[in-house]
Structure 1
Amino acid sequence: MNLWASLLDQAKDCVDVLVYAGLFLTDGTPDLAKRLIHKAENGVRVRVLLGDPDSEAVAARGAEEGVFGGVSARIKLSLTHLQDAIGAPGVHIHLHSTTLYSSIYRFDDVLLANTHVFGAPAAQSPVVHVQRIPGGRLFDHYMSSFDRVYSGSVPVEGSVVHRG
C-alpha cells in the first residue's frame, strides 16, 4: 500500500489537504472520495482545499510551470474524481485562490509538506516529513498556514462534472 493511502487509513482524528490539484492522490487512490466519506462517517474531520481553477494564482502557477491552463485542467479533473464526496456530511471540499508556497497533507500528527520550487511541478519538488512532538513548533506553523487558507476558502457546491 502506498504511503498516502496508509496515512489516510490510519487517521483517526483529522485529514487536511492543501493543494492546487493533488491529482496524484486521486490517480493513486481511485476510491479516494469513498475513503474520505468513510473517514467522515467515523468522526474524522476531513478538509480538502483545492485551488480555484479560475483564480489568478492558478493561472500564474500554470504560466510559471510552462503548462498554462494545465494546472486549472488538473484541478477540474481532481474535482471530478472527488464528486461523490462533495457535499457529503463531514467532508469539507473547498476552493482557495492563494499563492501556494507548500502543499500540506496532514493525517493526525503526521504532516507532509511539499515545498514548491519556482517553475517546477510539485512532483519535482521535495517533500518534508513533520511529526507533531511536544514543544515542537514546525507542525503548528504549517497548520496555522493551512487554517489561514481555509478561512478564506469557499465550499465546492453541487455537481462539478460537466457532460457535453
Structure 2
Amino acid sequence: MADANGTSRQLAYRVGVSAKQVERWLSNADLTPHARNRADACRALGVNEEMLWSKAVQGRVKTGNDKELVRSYPYRSACPSPVWTELIERASEELFFAGYTNYFFWTQVPHFADTIRRKSEDGCRVRFLLGNPEGEVTRQREQIEDVALSVSTRIRITLEHLDRLGPLERVETRFSAPLDAINHVSLSVFQFDSEALVTPHLARLVGHDSPLLHLRRQSDGGMFDRFAEHAEELWDRAERPIT
C-alpha cells in the first residue's frame, strides 16, 4: 500500500469493501479474503496474489487432470470484465472468437474495435467464427431464447462492426457450416494464445447466463487442446460470408 501511495480506506473503496475489512486483512495473516476481493486488491496495488496471500495460491495448485483449469464461473457474466480485456491485450499470436454471435465483445470490452485493428497490424491472427444469421439453427435458437435482441440480430451487429473495420489482412470471418451449427451454438470457445474462455450453453439460457471455464494450456492433449481442436474443426469446415 505504501508503494502504491495508498491508504486502507482508498484500497477498500477500489475493492468495494469496508475500510475495517481491509484493516482485518492487515492484522490477521491467516485471514484469506474472497477470491474476487483478492484479485481486485492485487490489481489495485499492482502485485501478484502470491505476494499477498501465498496460502491461497498454494491451495489452488493442481496436479491432476484439472491443472489447466484456472477458474470456473457459474455464469459468463460473473467473469470480471478486466479478465477479457487482459487476455485480449496479452495475446500476440492468436485471437479466435468462436462464439455463435460474439456480440458482447463490442458492447462490454472497452475499445474492442481499435484493439482488434491494432492486434492485426502487429501481426496477431484474428478470427471470428459466427453462426449464419439466415440458418435454420439460428431460427430455432431464436424461438428457444425468445428475447428481444434476437440471435440473428446479434450476429448482424457483429458483422456490421467487422465491416466498419475495413479490410484487414489478418482478420478473418466465417459462418459455421450448416451441419456444424448445432455444435457451434451449444459451445463457445474464445482463444487468446495459450489461454481460453469456454462457455457450454445450457438449454434455454442465453450466453451470459451459462457457465464459463478459464483454461491455460499446460501440456499436449489437455482440456485446452480438446476445446481448441473442437473450434479448429468447426473453422476448417466453415463458410465465408457472402459480401
Match of 1:150, SS? helix
Note the alpha carbon deviations across 1:96-138, whole angstroms, 9 max, x for none.
2411221111101111001100111011000011110024521
Contact 1:85–1:91 (8 Å) recurs in 2: no
Partner Cα separation in structure 1 for residue 164 and residue 113 of structure 2: 6
Between structure 1 and structure 2, the one with the greater Rg is: 2
> Could you say which residue in structure 1 is the equivalent of 2:42?
none
Matched AA of 1:39: K
TM-score relative to the length of structure 1: 0.87
Contact 1:59–1:69 (8 Å) recurs in 2: no
> Could you say which residue in structure 2 is the equivalent of 1:7?
87
**Structure 1 residue 66 displacement after superposition:** 2.1
Match of 2:198, SS? strand
Identity %: 26
1:6-85 equivalences under 5 Å are: 6-29=86-109, 31-67=111-147, 70-85=150-165
**Structure 1 residue 30 displacement after superposition:** 5.3
Partner Cα separation in structure 1 for residue 137 and residue 195 of structure 2: 27
> Could you say which residue in structure 2 is the equivalent of 1:123?
208
For structure 2, the 5+ residue unaligned runs are 1-80
Note the alpha carbon deviations across 1:2-31, whole angstroms, 9 max, x for none.
221211111011001111212211001353
Structure richer in strand, relative to its length: 1
Note the alpha carbon deviations across 1:22-73, whole angstroms, 9 max, x for none.
2211001353233112112111111111111001111111112123881101
> Could you say which residue in structure 2 is the equivalent of 1:139?
224
**Structure 1 residue 77 displacement after superposition:** 1.2
Give the aligned CA root-mean-square deviation in angstroms: 1.9
For structure 1, the 5+ residue unaligned runs are 159-164
Structure richer in helix, relative to its length: 2
Partner Cα separation in structure 2 for residue 121 and residue 51 of structure 1: 14
TM-score relative to the length of structure 2: 0.60
Matched AA of 1:139: F
Matched AA of 1:156: P
**Structure 1 residue 91 displacement after superposition:** 0.5
